[in-house]
Structure 1
Amino acid sequence: MAAPMRTLCCSVVRLSSRQFSTTCGARAGQEWRKEHGLARSGSEYGPLTDLPDWSFADGRPAPLLKGQLRRKQEREVLSRRIVMLSSEVDRGMEVWSEKREEAKRLEEHKKSLLLKPKGKLLMKKKI
Protein backbone atom coordinates (compact mmCIF):
# COMPACT_ATOMS: atom_id res chain seq x y z
CA MET A 1 0.00 0.00 0.00
CA ALA A 2 3.00 2.25 0.45
CA ALA A 3 4.00 1.95 -3.21
CA PRO A 4 0.85 3.52 -4.68
CA MET A 5 1.14 6.41 -2.20
CA ARG A 6 4.74 7.08 -3.29
CA THR A 7 3.75 6.99 -6.96
CA LEU A 8 0.94 9.41 -6.27
CA CYS A 9 3.26 11.86 -4.48
CA CYS A 10 5.88 11.72 -7.22
CA SER A 11 3.33 12.38 -9.93
CA VAL A 12 1.90 15.35 -8.00
CA VAL A 13 5.38 16.82 -7.63
CA ARG A 14 6.07 16.38 -11.35
CA LEU A 15 2.81 18.03 -12.36
CA SER A 16 3.20 20.95 -9.94
CA SER A 17 3.84 24.33 -11.54
CA ARG A 18 5.88 25.56 -8.56
CA GLN A 19 9.63 25.26 -8.76
CA PHE A 20 12.36 25.42 -6.19
CA SER A 21 14.68 28.41 -6.13
CA THR A 22 18.38 27.66 -6.41
CA THR A 23 19.75 31.21 -6.02
CA CYS A 24 22.33 32.03 -3.41
CA GLY A 25 20.86 33.57 -0.28
CA ALA A 26 24.12 35.25 0.71
CA ARG A 27 23.76 38.02 -1.88
CA ALA A 28 20.42 39.22 -0.53
CA GLY A 29 20.33 42.99 -0.97
CA GLN A 30 23.94 43.25 -2.09
CA GLU A 31 23.15 45.02 -5.36
CA TRP A 32 20.76 47.46 -3.66
CA ARG A 33 23.39 48.34 -1.06
CA LYS A 34 26.01 48.95 -3.76
CA GLU A 35 23.63 51.19 -5.72
CA HIS A 36 22.99 53.30 -2.63
CA GLY A 37 26.68 53.65 -1.73
CA LEU A 38 26.61 51.27 1.22
CA ALA A 39 28.76 48.27 2.11
CA ARG A 40 28.14 44.93 0.38
CA SER A 41 26.82 43.52 3.62
CA GLY A 42 25.61 45.14 6.79
CA SER A 43 28.58 43.86 8.77
CA GLU A 44 31.50 45.28 6.76
CA TYR A 45 31.60 48.83 8.11
CA GLY A 46 29.32 51.42 9.58
CA PRO A 47 28.05 52.37 13.02
CA LEU A 48 26.73 48.90 13.80
CA THR A 49 30.18 47.35 13.40
CA ASP A 50 32.50 50.23 14.30
CA LEU A 51 30.87 51.67 17.43
CA PRO A 52 30.87 49.84 20.75
CA ASP A 53 27.80 47.87 21.75
CA TRP A 54 27.61 49.39 25.20
CA SER A 55 29.25 51.88 27.56
CA PHE A 56 29.67 52.21 31.28
CA ALA A 57 26.98 54.03 33.25
CA ASP A 58 29.41 56.83 34.16
CA GLY A 59 30.02 57.56 30.44
CA ARG A 60 33.34 55.79 29.93
CA PRO A 61 33.54 54.00 26.58
CA ALA A 62 33.55 50.24 26.47
CA PRO A 63 36.76 48.45 25.49
CA LEU A 64 36.99 47.61 21.82
CA LEU A 65 36.20 44.08 20.71
CA LYS A 66 38.67 41.90 18.78
CA GLY A 67 37.00 42.55 15.44
CA GLN A 68 36.92 46.30 16.05
CA LEU A 69 40.63 46.30 16.95
CA ARG A 70 41.43 44.25 13.84
CA ARG A 71 39.48 46.61 11.56
CA LYS A 72 41.14 49.63 13.19
CA GLN A 73 44.58 48.13 12.63
CA GLU A 74 43.74 47.26 8.99
CA ARG A 75 42.62 50.84 8.39
CA GLU A 76 45.82 52.22 9.93
CA VAL A 77 47.96 49.96 7.73
CA LEU A 78 45.96 50.99 4.67
CA SER A 79 46.23 54.70 5.49
CA ARG A 80 50.00 54.41 6.00
CA ARG A 81 50.32 52.67 2.64
CA ILE A 82 48.22 55.38 0.96
CA VAL A 83 50.41 58.12 2.45
CA MET A 84 53.59 56.28 1.41
CA LEU A 85 52.38 55.74 -2.17
CA SER A 86 51.17 59.32 -2.42
CA SER A 87 54.59 60.63 -1.33
CA GLU A 88 56.25 58.33 -3.88
CA VAL A 89 54.04 59.75 -6.62
CA ASP A 90 54.84 63.31 -5.51
CA ARG A 91 58.57 62.56 -5.50
CA GLY A 92 58.29 60.94 -8.92
CA MET A 93 56.55 64.03 -10.29
CA GLU A 94 59.33 66.23 -8.88
CA VAL A 95 62.04 64.06 -10.45
CA TRP A 96 60.18 64.05 -13.76
CA SER A 97 59.86 67.86 -13.80
CA GLU A 98 63.56 68.23 -12.86
CA LYS A 99 64.56 65.93 -15.73
CA ARG A 100 62.35 67.90 -18.11
CA GLU A 101 63.93 71.20 -17.01
CA GLU A 102 67.40 69.72 -17.32
CA ALA A 103 66.59 68.56 -20.86
CA LYS A 104 65.42 72.10 -21.74
CA ARG A 105 68.62 73.59 -20.30
CA LEU A 106 70.71 71.09 -22.25
CA GLU A 107 68.83 71.94 -25.46
CA GLU A 108 69.37 75.67 -24.91
CA HIS A 109 73.05 75.04 -24.22
CA LYS A 110 73.37 73.07 -27.47
CA LYS A 111 71.69 75.92 -29.36
CA SER A 112 74.10 78.42 -27.82
CA LEU A 113 77.08 76.41 -29.09
CA LEU A 114 75.90 76.55 -32.72
CA LEU A 115 77.63 78.88 -35.15
CA LYS A 116 76.33 82.42 -35.09
CA PRO A 117 75.80 84.67 -38.09
CA LYS A 118 78.54 87.21 -38.78
CA GLY A 119 78.90 90.31 -40.86
CA LYS A 120 76.00 91.25 -43.14
CA LEU A 121 73.80 88.37 -41.89
CA LEU A 122 74.13 89.67 -38.34
CA MET A 123 73.11 93.18 -39.46
CA LYS A 124 70.06 91.81 -41.33
CA LYS A 125 68.81 90.01 -38.22
CA LYS A 126 69.00 93.16 -36.07
CA ILE A 127 66.93 95.21 -38.52
Structure 2
Amino acid sequence: MFSLNTTIGTILRVKRHLYYNVVNGLHQSCTRYLNQRWREKHGLTANPNTFSPLTNLPDYTFKDGRPTPLGVRQKARLDKQRNYAARIIKLVGEIDYAVERHAEVKKQKKQKRQQILDSKLKPKGNALLKKQLEKKLINS
Protein backbone atom coordinates (compact mmCIF):
# COMPACT_ATOMS: atom_id res chain seq x y z
CA MET A 1 0.00 0.00 0.00
CA PHE A 2 2.42 2.65 1.19
CA SER A 3 6.00 2.66 2.28
CA LEU A 4 7.20 4.28 5.46
CA ASN A 5 10.27 6.40 5.11
CA THR A 6 11.93 6.72 8.50
CA THR A 7 13.67 9.99 7.71
CA ILE A 8 10.73 11.95 6.31
CA GLY A 9 7.58 12.61 8.34
CA THR A 10 4.38 11.89 6.45
CA ILE A 11 0.79 12.52 7.36
CA LEU A 12 -1.59 9.64 6.92
CA ARG A 13 -5.28 10.10 6.66
CA VAL A 14 -7.18 7.69 8.87
CA LYS A 15 -10.91 7.09 9.27
CA ARG A 16 -13.15 9.99 10.37
CA HIS A 17 -10.73 12.69 9.26
CA LEU A 18 -8.18 12.04 11.98
CA TYR A 19 -4.58 12.68 11.07
CA TYR A 20 -1.48 11.11 12.50
CA ASN A 21 2.06 12.36 12.15
CA VAL A 22 4.48 9.58 11.33
CA VAL A 23 8.05 10.47 12.25
CA ASN A 24 10.76 7.83 12.28
CA GLY A 25 8.11 5.14 12.28
CA LEU A 26 6.33 6.50 15.41
CA HIS A 27 2.71 7.63 15.27
CA GLN A 28 2.01 10.95 16.97
CA SER A 29 -1.52 12.27 17.20
CA CYS A 30 -1.94 16.02 17.09
CA THR A 31 -4.77 18.01 18.72
CA ARG A 32 -4.56 20.40 15.78
CA TYR A 33 -6.13 17.72 13.63
CA LEU A 34 -9.33 17.36 15.64
CA ASN A 35 -12.41 17.45 13.46
CA GLN A 36 -13.16 21.17 13.94
CA ARG A 37 -16.25 21.21 11.73
CA TRP A 38 -17.92 18.52 13.84
CA ARG A 39 -17.03 20.36 17.09
CA GLU A 40 -18.38 23.66 15.72
CA LYS A 41 -21.57 21.99 14.48
CA HIS A 42 -22.23 20.57 17.95
CA GLY A 43 -21.51 23.89 19.71
CA LEU A 44 -18.23 22.77 21.27
CA THR A 45 -15.05 24.80 21.69
CA ALA A 46 -12.13 24.33 19.32
CA ASN A 47 -9.90 23.08 22.15
CA PRO A 48 -11.64 20.47 24.31
CA ASN A 49 -9.36 21.22 27.28
CA THR A 50 -10.34 24.90 27.68
CA PHE A 51 -13.98 24.56 28.77
CA SER A 52 -15.88 21.50 29.91
CA PRO A 53 -17.53 20.10 33.03
CA LEU A 54 -14.27 18.34 33.84
CA THR A 55 -12.41 21.64 34.03
CA ASN A 56 -15.14 23.84 35.56
CA LEU A 57 -16.97 21.64 38.06
CA PRO A 58 -15.52 20.31 41.32
CA ASP A 59 -14.06 16.84 41.41
CA TYR A 60 -16.26 15.78 44.33
CA THR A 61 -19.09 17.02 46.57
CA PHE A 62 -19.80 16.60 50.27
CA LYS A 63 -22.97 14.72 51.21
CA ASP A 64 -23.79 17.16 54.00
CA GLY A 65 -23.91 20.09 51.51
CA ARG A 66 -20.68 21.85 52.46
CA PRO A 67 -19.10 23.75 49.58
CA THR A 68 -16.17 22.04 47.95
CA PRO A 69 -12.86 23.86 47.72
CA LEU A 70 -11.81 25.23 44.36
CA GLY A 71 -10.00 22.81 42.13
CA VAL A 72 -6.53 23.10 40.67
CA ARG A 73 -6.25 26.27 38.53
CA GLN A 74 -9.99 26.93 39.01
CA LYS A 75 -9.33 30.02 41.15
CA ALA A 76 -6.89 31.29 38.55
CA ARG A 77 -9.54 30.87 35.83
CA LEU A 78 -12.13 32.68 37.96
CA ASP A 79 -9.73 35.56 38.67
CA LYS A 80 -8.88 35.79 34.99
CA GLN A 81 -12.59 36.01 34.07
CA ARG A 82 -13.17 38.67 36.76
CA ASN A 83 -10.27 40.70 35.39
CA TYR A 84 -11.70 40.40 31.87
CA ALA A 85 -15.11 41.58 33.10
CA ALA A 86 -13.62 44.52 35.02
CA ARG A 87 -11.58 45.58 32.03
CA ILE A 88 -14.58 45.33 29.69
CA ILE A 89 -16.67 47.49 32.04
CA LYS A 90 -13.85 50.04 32.28
CA LEU A 91 -13.33 50.23 28.51
CA VAL A 92 -17.06 50.49 27.79
CA GLY A 93 -17.28 53.33 30.32
CA GLU A 94 -14.42 55.12 28.60
CA ILE A 95 -16.12 54.74 25.22
CA ASP A 96 -19.40 56.08 26.62
CA TYR A 97 -17.57 59.05 28.11
CA ALA A 98 -15.82 59.73 24.79
CA VAL A 99 -19.10 59.59 22.86
CA GLU A 100 -20.83 61.95 25.31
CA ARG A 101 -17.86 64.34 25.30
CA HIS A 102 -17.75 64.36 21.51
CA ALA A 103 -21.47 65.19 21.37
CA GLU A 104 -20.98 67.99 23.94
CA VAL A 105 -18.00 69.48 22.05
CA LYS A 106 -19.98 69.34 18.81
CA LYS A 107 -22.93 71.07 20.50
CA GLN A 108 -20.66 73.80 21.91
CA LYS A 109 -19.09 74.40 18.49
CA LYS A 110 -22.55 74.71 16.95
CA GLN A 111 -23.63 77.20 19.66
CA LYS A 112 -20.45 79.25 19.21
CA ARG A 113 -20.96 79.35 15.44
CA GLN A 114 -24.58 80.43 15.95
CA GLN A 115 -23.46 83.21 18.33
CA ILE A 116 -20.95 84.44 15.75
CA LEU A 117 -23.61 84.43 13.04
CA ASP A 118 -26.08 86.24 15.30
CA SER A 119 -23.53 88.93 16.14
CA LYS A 120 -22.70 89.47 12.46
CA LEU A 121 -26.25 89.67 11.18
CA LYS A 122 -27.75 92.81 12.72
CA PRO A 123 -30.86 94.57 11.52
CA LYS A 124 -30.31 97.81 9.60
CA GLY A 125 -32.50 100.74 8.55
CA ASN A 126 -36.22 100.32 9.14
CA ALA A 127 -35.76 96.88 10.74
CA LEU A 128 -33.38 98.38 13.34
CA LEU A 129 -35.79 101.23 14.13
CA LYS A 130 -38.70 98.78 14.42
CA LYS A 131 -36.70 96.52 16.79
CA GLN A 132 -35.71 99.48 19.01
CA LEU A 133 -39.34 100.65 19.12
CA GLU A 134 -40.47 97.15 20.20
CA LYS A 135 -37.87 97.10 23.00
CA LYS A 136 -39.12 100.47 24.31
CA LEU A 137 -42.72 99.27 24.27
CA ILE A 138 -41.82 96.08 26.15
CA ASN A 139 -39.75 97.92 28.78
CA SER A 140 -42.40 100.56 29.48
With normalisation by structure 2, the TM-score equals 0.64
Is this contact kept in 2: 1:33–1:41, CA < 8 A?
Answer: no
Which residue of the partner structure matches residue 29 of structure 1? Answer: 35
Letter in 2 for 1:69: K
* 1:116-127 matches, cutoff 5 A: 116-119=122-125, 122=127
Structure 2: 5+ residue runs without aligned partners? 4-9, 14-18, 21-29, 129-140
Structure 1: 5+ residue runs without aligned partners? 1-11
Which residue of the partner structure matches residue 52 of structure 1? Answer: 58
**1:90 CA drift (Å):** 0.7
Letter in 1 for 2:110: K
**1:88 CA drift (Å):** 0.5
How many matched pairs? Answer: 107
**Structure 1 or 2: larger strand share?**
2
* Cα distance between partner residues in 2 of 1:94 and 1:67: 41
Structure 1 moving runs of 4+ over 6 Å = none
Is this contact kept in 2: 1:54–1:62, CA < 8 A?
Answer: yes
SS at match of 2:73: helix
| Cα deviation digits, residues 68-105 of structure 1 (max 9, x gap) | 11110110111111011011001101110110111111
**1:13 CA drift (Å):** 5.3
**Structure 1 or 2: larger helix share?**
1
With normalisation by structure 1, the TM-score equals 0.70
